[in-house]
Structure 1
Amino acid sequence: MPLGFALLLTAGGVMLGRGGIDAVQLRLLGVRLGQAAVAAAGVQILAGEYGTGLIRATLIVVPRRWSVLVAKAGLLTAGVVPVAVVGVGVAVIGLPLSDALLRAAGESVLHLILVGLLGLGVAAAVRSSAAAMGIVLGLLYLAPMLLWMLPDPDWGRFLYRLTPATAVQALTTTVDDAGLPLGPWAALGVVAAWTVGALGMGAVLFQRRNA
């Protein structure tokens, strides 16, 4: 699986941070790469049907569109959970067990689930695989660079804390986290808020528009 492969690439490393060695953070660097694969899965599970025209057949069989979206969300989650659990577990295997390690590993799994559902929500809203991937990847990777280009650095820092791009660093840091823009649970909450918003907007548009 792409996610498992990305996570395995980081096994056995150490990271020198401001407060010392954060082996957990380096082992979980694959989450930053793997989230793109999970987002793509979330996008394709719905937008792929629009691209091939199969969405019409799906809606004939299941005319209640809310049911279609809920079913796809459930199917996506069922697919992401085992891959994320195994991938994260393999990435941190061998490290000393601690509350910080369990927190980082558990939040990484939750983050990947949320990113997949974010992709599904955006796909339901825009219906195009390319457009949905551009939006999701922009939020996850490009937003910080654009925000730091704002003329007012205070606004840039404020908006940066509201983007899902902050999450991976916050979730996986276990050493010297005082300088992070958000704490790990707050960062996960930001991702959850984006996911709920995307799913809500996607559900409304999916219900109202013709296939």
Structure 2
Amino acid sequence: MSTGMSTGTATAPYRLTSRRILRSEWHKLWTLRSTWIMLGLASVFTVVLGMILGATYTPDAGEEIDPVTYALLGTQVGQVAIAVFGILITAGEYATGMVRATMAAVPRRLPVLRAKTAVFGTIALAILLVTNFLTFPLAQLFLDGTDLEASLGDPGIVRALAGSAAGTTLIGVIVLGLGSALRSVPGAIGAYIGGLILLPQLATMIPDDTVRDALNYFPLPAAESLAALHTSSDDLSPGAGLLTLCVWAVASLAVAAYLLKRRDV
């Protein structure tokens, strides 16, 4: 009798679902001090620098400047902060040893990578969109009456502001994959700086048109095409830039997923 009663009242086993994994990664992310620091740096620096540039702008008759690119120059530093944020989400867990508990809770592993990517992408894109759509009008308060005067209602402005946010987010996703694959914060930062920043700069020194055309398909130039209000015939179109970044992001995550399944924690 007692055996039957205990069987009938036994609690259901814990069910591991995608929603619960997402919730876990969401809560884990917001408990990290680095999350607030990196997102704060990316947002505050972009807004402050945009206002400073707007207040100190002096028209130059010999140079044509993109008003969106000019107002969002601070995103170059913000992009580094977002990239480091992506690295800390993945490689940071290996540095602290927390990854053992994470993978013990989710033995299949790949749902963890998907959840981390989804949470990172959602947070980064939301923060960057708010930052860009706040920075541009604030910079325009000082640029009113200059050759860089523009408004959100002008053709292409909203697309360029949203494109800048999407491009930076996808750069972060690419680097998140690097962090997962390399399992080292310094190693992933080095790969980001060397592979995504320095290598394209060094390649521009090669006097070959084919190399220069190929450089457009590197992540950073592709992201720049998304944020540009006007692109030249030598640059990628915003659509081609978005597709290029998506291919890089998928490739980075595919490598990370393969290594995650093949290696021990």
What TM-score comes out, normalization by structure 1 length? Answer: 0.89
Question: Is the 8 Å Cα contact of residues 91 and 179 (structure 2) preserved in structure 1?
Answer: yes
2:243 counterpart residue number: 189
Whether the aligned pair in 1 keeps the contact of 2:179 and 2:188 (CA below 8 Å) is yes
Q: Does 1:22 align with 2:77?
A: no
Mapping for residues 78-89 of structure 1, pairs under 5 Å = 78-89=122-133
Match of 1:155 among 198, 210, 214: 210
- Contact residue 36 and residue 137 of structure 1 kept, 8 A: no
More off after superposition, 12-21 vs 191-200: 12-21
Equivalent residue for 1:3, pick from 42, 47, 51: 42
**Does structure 2 retain, via aligned residues, the 8 Å contact 1:24–1:174?**
yes
5+ unaligned residues in a row in structure 1: which ranges? none
Structure-2 change in CA distance of 1:48 and 1:17 (3 Å) = farther
* Structure 1 residues 52 and 173, CA gap change in structure 2 (3 angstroms): same
Residue 53 (structure 1) aligns with: 97
**1:103-141 Cα deviation digits (max 9, x unpaired):** 101111111221121111111111111111122233432
User: Partners in 1 of 2:229 and 2:84 — Cα distance?
Assistant: 28
Mean Cα displacement is larger for which, 46-55 or 18-27?
Answer: 18-27
Q: 2:149 matched to 1:110?
A: no
Equivalent-residue separation in structure 2 for 1:122 and 1:21 (angstroms)? 34
Identity of aligned residues (%): 32
Give the TM-score normalised by structure 2.
0.72
Residue equivalent to 1:98: 154
1:35 aligns with 2:42: no
Distance 2:100 2:185 in 1: 17
Which structure 1 residue ranges, 4+ long, deviate > 4 Å from structure 2?
14-19
Q: Distance in 2 between matches of 1:210 and 1:153?
A: 44
- SS of the counterpart of 1:107? helix
The alignment status of 1:166 with 2:210, answered yes or no, reads: no
Alignment pair present for 1:203 and 2:257: yes
1:180 positional shift: 4.4
3-state SS of paired residue (2:50)? coil
For the residues of structure 2 that align with 1:42 and 1:141, how far apart are their CA atoms? 16
Q: Number of paired residues?
A: 209
Q: 1:202 to 1:35 in 2, by over 3 A?
A: same
Deviation at 1:167, TM superposition (A): 2.8
| Counterpart-to-counterpart distance in 2, 1:92 and 1:70 | 33
Q: CA deviation at 1:204?
A: 0.7
Task: Supply the distance in 2 between the matched residues of 1:83 and 1:180 (Cα, whole angstroms).
Answer: 31
Gaps of 5+ in 2: 1-39, 141-149
Q: Is the 8 A contact 2:90 2:179 kept in 1?
A: yes
Cα pair 2:216 2:222 within 8 Å, conserved = no
Matching residue's letter, 2:106: V
CA distance in 1, matches of 2:190, 2:235: 25
Pair 1:40–1:50, CA change in 2 (3 A): same
Q: Residue deviations 1:151-185, cap 9 Å, x none?
A: x512321321121121343223224x225422222
Deviation at 1:100, TM superposition (A): 1.0
